[in-house]
Amino acid sequence: MPTRRLMPDVIKNQELSCLPPDATVRDAAALMAAKRIAAVLVTEGRVLKGIFTERDMTVRVVAAGLDPDTTPLSAVMTEDPDTLEPSAMALSALDLMEQRRYRHLPIAVGGEVVGMVSIRDLFAVVRAHLEDELRSREAYMFGSGYSAEARLD
């Protein structure tokens, strides 16, 4: 895990789900349902303006009693979200997401969005790393990497 970069090690060939700031909350909800995702990027062209998540929908729209058919994303999105560059380490993303308590992090270069990493994406990387470590240790302890003869030297 320590040497894995967000792109291309964690995220590869990702199709971005973006909407403009004037799209409605209903538009975002429909896109999220169709794509089975929990967040959409709010962009003007490729320029990141914000992110809209399930949490934003719950807290800023439903709990606030706003109409999803008339409320624009610009009014309820998280503006100017934190981002990391594609070359950032996966562990940096995990640390940032844990500190700031969010589950989606846009990946951007010079303000232009190129991807988004989720806590699930990072969990898969951590899990694969732990499985590799376990296999390596088992091979060392019980396999060809370790033997009684090797210890006698």
For residue 153, what pLDDT is reported?
A: 45
Structure tokens at 22: 């004037």
User: In this structure, what token pair is assigned to residue 126?
Assistant: 């951590």
Q: Is 150 exposed, middle or buried (0-12, 13-18, 19+ CB in 10 A)?
A: exposed
- pLDDT for 79-131, tens place per residue? 999 999 999 998 889 899 999 999 999 999 999 999 999 988 888 777 766 76
pLDDT band at 5 (very low <50, low <70, confident <90, very high): confident
Domains of the chain: 16-152 (3.10.580.10)
* pLDDT band, very low/low/confident/very high, at 149 (cuts 50, 70, 90): low
Longest dimension (CA), the chain: 77
C-alpha 123/C-alpha 30 separation (Å) is 26
